[in-house]
Amino acid sequence: MKTFLAAFGLIFLAELGDKTQLAAIAMASQTGKPWHVFVGAALAFSALTLAGVFLGVGIAKVVPAAVIQKVAGALFVAFGVLIFFGKF
């Protein structure tokens, strides 16, 4: 239960106000079909999360967790720099 709550809390806070949420808001307001947008977005996010979890499990069998964390951190920084300079 501790892992579940940590994952929920972390993802919930990380995703607040992100571009995916803003896209869902825009789509729901344009289409007038909030439940269709909700179900589509929830299924898409679930599919991406499922793929990420199983990919993570597979990678963790070969690469140490510390290396995965450092690479993930470097990628976040790289994407942030690219976004800052308007390249992404």
pLDDT in the model for residue 54: 95
Assess contact for 37 and 28: CB atoms under 8 A: yes
Where along the chain do its domains lie? 2-84
pLDDT in the model for residue 19: 83
Locate tokens 């909030």: which residue? 34
Instruction: Break the chain down into helix, strand, coil percent, rounded to 5.
Output: 85, 0, 15
Per-position pLDDT tens, the chain of length 88 = 999 999 999 888 888 778 888 899 999 999 999 999 999 999 999 999 999 999 989 999 999 989 999 999 999 999 999 989 988 7
